[in-house]
Structure 1
Amino acid sequence: MSIWWSLQLRREAASVPLARRLLLGAMETAGVDADISHELSVALSEACSNAVQHGGDRSEVYRVTASIHGDVCRIEVTDTGPGFPAGATIPLVGRREPSQPRELSVGGRGLRLIEALSDRVRFDNQPGAGGAIVTFDKVLKWREGALLKAS
């Protein structure tokens, strides 16, 4: 069985815990292991916080899309801000290289946290319209008797 859901949230700090609680509720209902659910919710909180902070002036909203297919959960957070700097090496956030744009060395701990908590992560820019796309995958572990456990 697979499930998919999408949220459009206002770019306000209050939306971050809302997104986190919705994800945790869905994971609990599906029967996902509590530790995995917690890791996903922290990564989601970081991605949402980035969208709230850097989402740009063109839109007052950002989008969260999540899906479970088999044993993998994929979460995507999309905003309409300036996106990631061209040529930036996102995994090096926090360790400034001479050729690396300064914007990524100032903060960016959330991006590193998303990487640490995910099995696969991509930091992209939306084509044309602009905006950042943070996509991360996590292999799920299930509780005994889980509703969505892949057979």
Structure 2
Amino acid sequence: MSIWWSLHLRREAASVPLARRLLIGTMETAGVDPDISYDLSVALSEACANAVEHGGGASTSESSGAYRVTAYLDGEKCRIEVADSGPGFPVLRSHAALRPAPDDAENGRGLCLIHELADHVQVDNRPGRGGAVVSFDKILKWTKDAPLMAV
């Protein structure tokens, strides 16, 4: 069985836990191992936080604008995509962002953390439309007698 959902969220800090709770609830209901659910929920929180902080166009204020979160649980894999309408990732920044942030930095660890928690990560800019897309996936493990376990 496959499950997918997509959310169109305002670029506000309150949207991050909303997306995280929906993902955790979906995985819990499906019977995904809690450790896998936790890893994916932290990665999702980091991707959403990036979209909230950096995902607006030049003409949007800090609290306006929107971003989209889509999650797919299909067979043995979960794939999550977070897309925003911001300036995208500068070419050099996308590679530099994978280096650990300095110890005294207050931010800059999100993409590195997503890479640690997921099996595959892709960071792209959307040519012609603007914005960045962070997508990641992870192989699922299931609890015993999971109701939606892949067969």
TM-score, with structure 2 as normaliser: 0.88
Task: Provide structure 2 residue ranges, at least 5 long, that are not aligned to the other structure.
Answer: none
The runs of at least 4 consecutive aligned structure 1 residues that moved more than 2 Å come to 90-96, 105-108
Q: Which amino acid aligns with 1:148?
A: L
Contact 2:100-2:109 at 8 Å conserved across structures: yes
Q: Following the alignment from structure 2 to structure 1, what is the Cα–Cα distance between the partners of residues 80 and 12?
A: 19
Which position in structure 2 is the counterpart of 1:10? 10
Q: Following the alignment from structure 2 to structure 1, what is the Cα–Cα distance between the partners of residues 142 and 69?
A: 23
Q: How many residues align structurally?
A: 143
Contact 2:97-2:108 at 8 Å conserved across structures: no
TM-score, with structure 1 as normaliser: 0.88
Which position in structure 1 is the counterpart of 2:41? 41
Q: Following the alignment from structure 1 to structure 2, what is the Cα–Cα distance between the partners of residues 148 and 90?
A: 39
Task: Provide structure 1 residue ranges, at least 5 long, that are not aligned to the other structure.
Answer: 97-104
Q: Following the alignment from structure 1 to structure 2, what is the Cα–Cα distance between the partners of residues 125 and 71?
A: 27
Cα RMSD after superposing both structures: 1.8
Q: Does 1:64 align with 2:38?
A: no
The alpha-carbon distance between structure 1 residues 22 and 150, as it changes in their structure 2 partners (threshold 3 A), is same
Give the CA deviation at 1:56. 1.4
Q: Following the alignment from structure 1 to structure 2, what is the Cα–Cα distance between the partners of residues 120 and 92?
A: 14
Q: Following the alignment from structure 1 to structure 2, what is the Cα–Cα distance between the partners of residues 49 and 41?
A: 12
Q: Which amino acid aligns with 2:90?
A: P
